[in-house]
């Protein structure tokens, strides 16, 4: 089935014929006295509602194994937990600030090394050592929207026995399917597009590798960073409108990017492929659209703070992917954990703004951007 249908019908035929599956809040479950066995025993190890969600996630990604976590960073941390002490993880310099913080602050205490590379597509065989255990990819990157060639990186990393993990938060399986391209694990901050309403935290990890699936299941049960039944239930419902929301958000984002590129008060507009034709071709080959995030820099004569204060529709707030438009200043918000040099290496200027485009009327959004730009000059 098409993903639009899967998002709605993934749990069709559930118990009692319920069109909307019930929520199970129990923390513990009655077991067989003779064997102490049961499908579920304790919520940390498994819960019917979380299992329902994980079944939906697996179908969305066409994955064999799916796991739901309390936050996107919990999912990312679980995946990094698969790496043995003494190993190295290669990442793009332009990576989510929370991921940077984890690598920068937590890795040293665990005996791990994180190596940030300005652009992963420059990697060659010489960049891999016997300690390289994983390549962690965001494409498009956050917030620069630089593109990485997934097919090339997967082939290169696998040739050296390294895992490839893709953070697919910006694209979701609606627009990009890294597992189909050979990635070992896909993680997402489900807080963003999967949930889509800026009202819950969640993270996901999916894989087609049975050994990795078993390791993630053990980690999930042991460390306990699981998604609650209530949030699992809500996320199941939110996913039903995921394709529709992304279609509208992406259409709005494309119109805004075109508009801003022609605006004299905007110096630079970043969308997937902005850096050059090669990246545009790569993105088109592995994704079915640019997504709904637009980053941009204002012209020198535009006061950034005045522009942000003048906006009436986008809220000045962290996060992205919700039905409401949000705008943030990565250097002081989402990526404040990075040092100034790290941000420079990642291409994140102090003037860069990241706009997560919502589902509002496009005429209203464009008019609001225009009046705010005029007010700030």
Considering the domain architecture, whether residues 285 and 345 belong to the same structural domain is answered as yes
What's the CATH code of the domain at 46? 3.40.640.10
Which of 221, 239, 257 marks a domain boundary?
Answer: 239
Considering the domain architecture, whether residues 117 and 152 belong to the same structural domain is answered as yes
Alpha-helical runs (H) found in the chain: 3-9, 48-61, 72-80, 97-101, 150-159, 172-175, 210-223, 229-239, 242-261, 277-286, 304-310, 340-346, 362-375
Considering the domain architecture, whether residues 148 and 202 belong to the same structural domain is answered as yes
* Count of domains observed in the chain: 2
What's the CATH code of the domain at 251? 3.90.1150.10
pLDDT tens-digit map of 265-290: 999 999 999 999 999 999 999 999 99
Considering the domain architecture, whether residues 205 and 270 belong to the same structural domain is answered as no
Low-confidence residues in the chain, pLDDT < 70:
none
Considering the domain architecture, whether residues 126 and 23 belong to the same structural domain is answered as yes
Q: Which tokens belong to 127?
A: 């960049």
Considering the domain architecture, whether residues 19 and 149 belong to the same structural domain is answered as yes
Look at residue 338 in the predicted model and tell me its pLDDT. 86
Mean pLDDT of the chain: 96
CA 245 – CA 253 distance, rounded (Å): 12
pLDDT tens-digit map of 110-145: 999 999 998 999 999 999 999 999 999 999 999 999
Q: Which domain holds residue 169?
A: 3-239
Considering the domain architecture, whether residues 202 and 249 belong to the same structural domain is answered as no
Which of 239, 272, 291 marks a domain boundary?
Answer: 239
With beta carbons less than 8 A apart as the criterion, state whether 40 and 48 touch: yes
Considering the domain architecture, whether residues 257 and 235 belong to the same structural domain is answered as no
Listed residue (75, 135, 84) closest to 112, CA to CA: 84
pTM assigned to the model:
0.95
CA 49 – CA 23 distance, rounded (Å): 6
- List all residues 6 or more positions away from 368 whose beta carbon is below 8 Å from its beta carbon: 311, 312, 313, 314
Q: Which tokens belong to 261?
A: 């590129």
Look at residue 152 in the predicted model and tell me its pLDDT. 98
CB atoms within 10 A of CB 47: 25
Considering the domain architecture, whether residues 81 and 124 belong to the same structural domain is answered as yes
Residues annotated as catalytic are 44, 96, 167, 192
pLDDT tens-digit map of 346-368: 899 999 999 999 999 999 999 99
Considering the domain architecture, whether residues 77 and 192 belong to the same structural domain is answered as yes
């Amino acid at each position: 089935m098409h993903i639009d249908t899967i998002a709605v019908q993934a749990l069709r035929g559930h118990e009692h014929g319920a069109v909307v599956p019930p929520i199970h809040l129990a923390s513990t479950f009655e077991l067989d006295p003779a064997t102490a066995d049961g499908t579920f025993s304790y919520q940390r190890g498994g819960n019917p509602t979380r299992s329902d969600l994980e079944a939906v996630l697996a179908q969305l990604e066409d994955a064999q194994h799916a796991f739901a976590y309390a936050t996107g960073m919990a999912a990312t941390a679980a995946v990094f937990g698969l790496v043995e002490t003494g190993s190295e993880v290669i990442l793009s310099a332009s990576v989510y600030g929370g991921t940077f913080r984890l690598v920068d602050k937590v890795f040293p205490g665990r005996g791990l090394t994180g190596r940030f590379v300005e652009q992963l597509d420059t990697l060659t065989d010489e960049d891999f050592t016997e300690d390289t255990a994983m390549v962690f990819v965001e494409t498009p990157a956050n917030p620069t929207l630089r593109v990485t060639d997934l097919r090339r990186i997967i082939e290169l990393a696998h040739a050296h026995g390294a895992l490839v993990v893709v953070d697919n938060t910006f694209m979701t399986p609606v627009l990009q399917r890294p597992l189909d391209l050979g990635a070992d694990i896909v993680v997402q901050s489900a807080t963003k597009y999967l949930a889509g309403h800026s009202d819950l935290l969640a993270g996901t990890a999916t894989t087609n590798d049975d050994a990795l699936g078993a390791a993630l299941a053990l980690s999930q049960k042991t460390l306990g960073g699981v998604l609650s039944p209530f949030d699992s239930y809500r996320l199941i419902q939110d996913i039903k409108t995921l394709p529709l929301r992304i279609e509208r958000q992406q259409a709005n984002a494309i119109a805004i990017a075109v508009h801003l590129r022609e605006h004299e008060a905007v110096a630079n507009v970043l969308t997937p492929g902005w850096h050059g034709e090669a990246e545009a071709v790569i993105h088109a080959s592995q994704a079915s659209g640019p997504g709904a995030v637009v980053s941009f820099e204002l012209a020198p004569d535009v006061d950034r703070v005045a522009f942000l204060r003048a906006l009436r529709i986008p809220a000045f707030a962290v996060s992205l992917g919700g039905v409401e438009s949000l705008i943030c200043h990565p250097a002081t918000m989402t990526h404040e954990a990075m040092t100034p040099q790290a941000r420079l290496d990642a291409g994140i200027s102090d003037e860069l703004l990241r706009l997560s485009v919502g589902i509002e009327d496009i005429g209203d959004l464009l008019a609001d951007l225009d009046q705010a730009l005029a007010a700030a000059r």
